[in-house]
Chains A and B, each alone.
Chain A
Amino acid sequence: MADTELEVRERAPALAAEPSQPTQRVERVTVIRPASRWPHLDVRELWHYRELLGRLTWRDIAVRYKQTSVGVAWAILQPFLTMVVFTFVFGRFANFPSKDVPYPIFVYSALLPWTYFASSVALASSSLVANRGLVTKVYFPRVLLPLAGVTVPIVDFLLALTVLFGMMAWFSVWPSAALLLAPFFLAMAVGAAFGVSLFLSALTVRYRDVSYAIPFLLQIWLFLSGVVYAISALPERWQWVLALNPMTTVISGFQWGVLGTEAPELGQSLVGVAATLVFLVVGLSYFRRSEPKFADTI
Chain B
Amino acid sequence: MSTAIVTEELCKRYRIGELQSTYGTLRDSLAAAAKRLVHRDHRPHYEEIWALRDVSLEVPEGQVLGVIGRNGAGKSTLLRILTRITTPTSGRAEIHGRVGSLLEVGTGFHPELTGRENVFLNGSVLGMKQREIQGKFDEIVEFAGIEQFVDTPVKRYSSGMSVRLAFAVAAHLEPEILLVDEVLAVGDAEFQRRCLGRMEDLSESGRTVVFVSHQMQAVSQLCDRAILLERGRVVRDGPSGEVVAHYLQTVGGAGSSRSWPDLATAPGDDLARLVSVRVVDEHGETADATDVRRPVGIEIGFRVLRTGGPAVFPKIKVYNARRNVVFNALDTSSRWREPSSPGEYVSTAWIPGNLLNEGLVTIDVGICSLNAPKLHPHAGCVDAVSFHVQDEGEGDSARGLFTGQLQGVVRPLLEWTTDER
Seen from chain A, the residues whose Cβ lies within 8 Å of a Cβ on chain B are: 3-4, 19-20, 22, 27-35, 51-52, 54-55, 59, 62-63, 66-67, 131, 133-140, 206-210, 292-293, 295-297
Contacts and interface: CB of A to CB of B under 8 A. Distances in A.
Interface residues of B, number: 53
B103 interface: yes
A124 B174 CA distance: 32
B23 to A, nearest CB: 7
A33 B24 CA distance: 28
B157 to A, nearest CB: 16
Nearest to A67: B112
Nearest to A20: B174
B358 interface: no
A52 B206 CA distance: 28
A59 B101 contact: no
Contact of A137 (B93, B97, B107, B120): B107
A137 B179 CA distance: 12
Contacts of A206: 22
Contacts of B153: 66
Given A59-B110, A295-B80, A32 B88 contact: yes
Contacts of B121: 55, 59
Contacts of B19: 296-297
B288 interface: no
Given A4-B84, A292-B86, A138 B206 contact: no
Contacts, number: 120
Contact of A33 (B85, B87, B206): B87
6 tightest CB-CB pairs across the interface, nearest first? A32-B93, A139-B84, A292-B87, A55-B124, A19-B174, A30-B95
A210 B82 CA distance: 31
A138 B205 contact: no
Contacts of A59: 110, 113, 117, 121
Given A32-B88, A51-B130, A139-B83, A133 B94 contact: no
19 contacts: A19-B132, A22-B97, A30-B99, A32-B81, A32-B93, A51-B124, A55-B120, A55-B125, A59-B113, A59-B121, A63-B113, A137-B104, A138-B101, A138-B125, A206-B22, A207-B26, A210-B26, A297-B18, A297-B22
A34 B90 contact: yes
A55 B84 CA distance: 21
Contacts of A135: 85
Contacts of A292: 86-87
Given A20-B174, A22-B176, A35-B87, A27 B97 contact: yes
Given A55-B121, A62-B113, A32 B84 contact: yes
A34 B88 contact: yes
Contacts of A207: 24-26, 29
A140 B153 CA distance: 25
Contacts of B174: 19-20
B1 to A, nearest CB: 12
A20 B82 CA distance: 22
B129 A29 contact: no
Interface in B301-346: none
A89 to B, nearest CB: 33
B82 A32 contact: yes
Interface in B98-114: 98-99, 101, 103-104, 107-108, 110, 112-113
